[in-house]
Amino acid sequence: MIIERSKDEVIFRLPGNTNIDDLQDLTDLFEFKEISGKSKAKQKEVDDLVKEIKKGRWEKSKDKLGL
């Protein structure tokens, strides 16, 4: 593996037989870090949002399953 830095970008050079799924996971991680680094949300706000989303998901699942 070779990592190069230019004025505008960082380039990773990997062998051609590198697992594409692993590369996608890394890409997703980098994208998440880039997006979340710009966020001004506080951890409490994130936790509340996750709780709300999970609650809504459970309600929908109960309706679909007839529970």
Domain that holds residue 12: 2-65
Residue 47 is predicted with a pLDDT of: 93
The pLDDT of residue 66 is 84
Number of domains in the chain: 1
Q: Residue written as tokens 């709780």?
A: 51
Q: Which residue has the higher pLDDT, 50 or 57?
A: 50
Query: What's at 48, amino acid-wise?
Result: D
Is the pLDDT at 56 greater than 80? The verdict is: no
